[in-house]
Structure 1
Amino acid sequence: MKFESLVPFLLVLLVSMARNQAIAGGYHPIKNINDPYIIGIAHFAITEYNKRGAGAKLEFMKVIKGELEYVQGINYRLNLSANDGSTSNNYEALVLDEPVKYSRNLISFKPLHA
């Protein structure tokens, strides 16, 4: 194989390695916060919070901002808006999603203060 034909292959390999390094560790912004999968995770977070909370009756409104982190699954940190029947407030939800195990777990859910 000629050296000239190896150059494009090596370039693609290096770019691929660089992208994988950038993904590992730390949170990265979610580009499409209106993706149905992200909306589903937000609904899950609110449903779980309502189950755990004493008398909580939050209703999902929208995702404001989202980040993800690759771990033994994916951590989703979502800032979302929810209505409690009379007022709308913003919350931060942290959900561990493990699609291989068909598992989701609400790690934390707390109000965001301005």
Structure 2
Amino acid sequence: MCTPLGPYGPCDDSDAPYVKEIAERAVADHNKSAGTNYTLVSIVNCESVVVSGTNYRLVLSLKDDSTTSDFLVVVYYRPWDNYLEVTQFEPVTK
């Protein structure tokens, strides 16, 4: 992950197809590496900051079998080479 050039700000459109695609890829990558079986229910919050690419800080509502929980997921994404790295994936504590 690269150092942010400024503070995180709200995504222009958290319902945009590209945000959903990034969220789904992040969940799939996490499932593969952690052996989990989460599915995306919704994007609760989306913030981003430009680096040499973009860091996305997402709060995702995820379902695992019968339970649904919110997770903080930070993703580094470079669209020009389709590189995506999940740098943080943790439950949101309430």
* TM-score normalized by the length of structure 2: 0.90
Identical aligned residues as a percent? 30
More helix by share: 1
Where do 1:78-89 residues align within 5 Å? 78-89=58-69
Distance of 1:102 and 1:82 partners within structure 2: 24
Corresponding residue number in structure 2 for 1:43: 24
Offset of residue 56 of structure 1? 0.6
**TM-score, length of structure 1 as denominator length:** 0.75
Aligned length: 90
Instruction: From the CA coordinates, give the structure whose radius of gyration is larger.
Output: 1
Give the superposition deviation at 1:30: 1.1
Deviating above 3 A after TM superposition, structure 1's stretches of 4 or more consecutive aligned residues are: none
- Which structure is higher in RCO with an 8 Å CA cutoff and minimum separation 6? 2
CA RMSD of aligned residues (A): 1.0
Q: Which ranges of structure 2 fall in alignment gaps of 5 or more residues?
A: none
Matches within 5 A, 1:1-114: 24-53=5-34, 55-114=35-94
Considering fraction of residues, name the structure with more strand. Answer: 2
Q: Deviations over 1:43-94 (max 9, x none)?
A: 01110110111x3100110000010010010000000100001100000111
TM-superposed deviation, 1:25: 1.3
